[in-house]
Structure 1
Amino acid sequence: MTNKKKFLNLLGIARQSGNIIIGEDNVLSAIKNQQIRFLVIAKDSGQSTSKKFHDKSKSHQIPFYDRFNREEISKAIGMSRTIIGINNDGFAKHLNKMVMNMD
């Protein structure tokens, strides 16, 4: 199994276990409350949305990955989304480690 598939599978597991935050407003609020440990930003999200979350991740020092499209992310978690916040340290560390081996 490729790292890409493993990453997407882990996103699905994180959703099933209740360790993701979805919805732009919810994710923004969670970032402000220092609850987000990792961000997934769809590469085909809107320009202003993409900029907003890239800027937030940099200013709050949150690692992120932005190379999957909306369809790949949505299929992994079972709902249509462009922004996903991971609020669990274990999942975040594992996803971040996987990202380093994908590029």
Structure 2
Amino acid sequence: MNEQKILNLLGMAQRAGRVASGDFAVTKAVQGRKARLLLVAADASEDTRKRYRQMAADASIELFYLGDRELLGHCIGKDFRAAVAVLDAGFANAIAKHCRSDSDTGVD
């Protein structure tokens, strides 16, 4: 399943220090134009999803919905995470490629 590949790539990006997680860090990365890709938990609240959707549109970066908050946090070795920003273009491109081909993953 492509979701497992996405989670593996996200874990590698975290170990490489190329991920921002948590509301403050993700917001800062997106607004500072350092984020290359935004991943939002599918079970995040509608207000949270709307806010990140708008942030991604303003920064002209792709946004995908992936798993739930527990899964998103677990794959980067953290607690629950509603959103994760990928800071590296290489990791972002690889993850986006798998997200686009995964029929279970939502895209905005």
For structure 1, the 5+ residue unaligned runs are none
Quote how far apart the aligned CAs of 1:46 are. 2.4
Indicate yes or no: 2:41 matched with 1:42: yes
- Which has more helix, going by share of residues? 1
Q: What residue is the counterpart of 1:84 in the other structure?
A: 84
TM-score, scaled relative to structure 1:
0.92
Quote how far apart the aligned CAs of 1:74 are. 1.7
Q: What residue is the counterpart of 1:70 in the other structure?
A: 69
One-letter identity of the residue aligned with 1:57: A
Q: What residue is the counterpart of 1:31 in the other structure?
A: 30
Count of residue pairs brought into register by the alignment: 102
3-state DSSP class of the match of 2:35?
Answer: coil
Q: What residue is the counterpart of 1:11 in the other structure?
A: 10
Quote how far apart the aligned CAs of 1:60 are. 1.5
Rounded to whole Å, the distance in 2 between the matches of 1:46 and 1:101 is 25
Rounded to whole Å, the distance in 2 between the matches of 1:58 and 1:32 is 11
Quote how far apart the aligned CAs of 1:68 are. 1.3
Runs (4 or more) in structure 1 with deviation over 3 Å come to: none
The two structures, once aligned, show a CA RMSD in angstroms of 1.1
TM-score, scaled relative to structure 2:
0.88
Q: Is the 8 A contact 2:39 2:63 kept in 1?
A: yes
One-letter identity of the residue aligned with 2:102: M
Q: Is the 8 A contact 2:66 2:72 kept in 1?
A: no
Counting aligned pairs with the same residue, the percent is 27
Rounded to whole Å, the distance in 2 between the matches of 1:101 and 1:48 is 27
Indicate yes or no: 2:50 matched with 1:51: yes
